[in-house]
Structure formats: C-alpha cells, structure tokens
Amino acid sequence: MRHVTQWLRSTHSLVPNKTKRSRSVCEAFGLWGLHIIPTQTWTTVRSVRWTPLRAGQWKLNVDGASQGNSGSSGGGGILRDSTGCILFAFSNFYNIQTITVAEAMTIRDGLFLCEEQNITNIVLESDSKVLVDMLRADSCPHWRLKNIWADIMRCRGRITTITHQFREGNQTADALTAHGVRSRRRTVFSFWQDMPLEARGAHRLERLGIPSLCIHRTPLSAPPR
C-alpha cells in the first residue's frame, strides 16, 4: 500500500498538462491507459442516543484513543444510574499505546473504580467493537493485553451486560478521553460540575435524550438500486 501510494503521488508531476485539466482523477489516469472504476458507496444514516437503564442498574460508558496508533493515548469513562445521575467520571493518560490497548486499559480502570465503591449490576458500554466482542466471548487473542485482560476478568462478575455503542452515542466518554490526552494526567470526578466543559455539555445532552446522527458508508461492487 505504501509503494502504491508513493507511485500515485509521483505520477502527479509526470502527467501531461492536459491531464491536469481533466475533470477527475479517473479521467487523468485514463489518458495513461489506466482504467479506474470509481468506488460506489451506500450511505446509512441512523439516530443514536444514550439510553437510561431500569432502576438498580449502573451504566459504565468508556472510550479510549491513541494519536497515531501507536501514539499519545488516553481513556475516559463515566458511571451513571438509571436516571442519568453521575456516580463518578474519570480521565487517564496512558503514554504511548495502541488504540486497542488504550480501550482495554480504560475498561480496566473503570471497573477498578467500580470495585473500590463495591458497585455491581453494571452495564458496560463501549464504542470499541473489538473489545466488546472479546468480552462477550470471554477470550483475548492479543498477547499485548494479557495482564490488562487478567485484571478485567477479575472484575468480570460485576458486569451483567456488555453493549456496543457508536461513537456518536458515547460522546461524554469521548470528551473525557480527549481531556485525559490533553492534560496528561489521571483525574477522577465525583460531581458533574468538576468535569471538563466539553464533557459537561455532552452529559447534559445525553441525559436529555438528545440524539446524534451516525453516518456509515459501505463500499458496493455495484451502484445501489
């Protein structure tokens, strides 16, 4: 992929002037005898939102991020009751990690905080499909996660349900993650007023049930009918 990308960039300076006036990249390569079929995509738009639970349950929303994968990474999460009230929120900085490791470390740290306060009956919600599938299968194929996974499994009994949420429906945790990367430190918030501004705003919208739009584009071999 790297070699192909470099070749495509280098051809830009070699094409005749008339190709630079072509209406599209496909037409420009057509003058070289290279026939490229444009990618057709099917766009799906759905409405997503944070949904409250029934009384007696706690929802732990978590998110992790890595700038560059691997790069400066962090994570954040928030635990709320059935009415959307906060029990705690947190943001952490994880130095240089991959996105999968950062997501796993965030889940571990969120469960550790639940363990400290003896919280059970937890609904864990993450926008990492990889980690959600691993937790549902109780299997970790990634050797880099061995120690982190052992910590998560120790707290696994506190989780009753594991759900996947799109990033657009996980915006409070996303804002807390961004704060962790920026601040480069670990912070635990016990009150809504203590959270960073972006996280406070996202939490308020989620608690009110305000939906966000999730746009997903799927490549097609043929145009949709």
Domain annotation covers residue 204: yes
Distance from C-alpha of 164 to C-alpha of 61, rounded to nearest angstrom: 10
Q: What is the pLDDT of residues 96-109, one digit of tens each?
A: 999 999 999 999 99
Domain annotation covers residue 175: yes
Domain annotation covers residue 23: no
Domain annotation covers residue 141: yes
Query: Into how many domains does the chain fold?
Result: 1
**Burial 98-116, CB ≥16 within 10 A → b, else e:** bbbbbbbbbbbbbbebbee
Domain annotation covers residue 2: no
Cβ(170)–Cβ(125) under 8 Å? yes
Domain annotation covers residue 95: yes
Distance from C-alpha of 7 to C-alpha of 9, rounded to nearest angstrom: 5
Task: State the residue range of the domain holding 177.
Answer: 53-210
Any idea what the CATH number is for the domain that residue 205 is in?
3.30.420.10
Q: What is the pLDDT of residues 167-192, one digit of tens each?
A: 999 999 999 999 999 999 999 999 99
* Residue 74 structure tokens: 């962090």
Say what the pLDDT of residue 15 is.
56
Say what the pLDDT of residue 225 is.
47
Domain annotation covers residue 152: yes
Among 3-7, 93-97, 160-164, which is the least confidently predicted range?
3-7
DSSP bridge partners of 47: 213
> What's the pLDDT band for 121 if we cut at 50, 70, 90?
very high
Cβ(182)–Cβ(162) under 8 Å? no
Domain annotation covers residue 18: no
> What's the pLDDT band for 17 if we cut at 50, 70, 90?
low
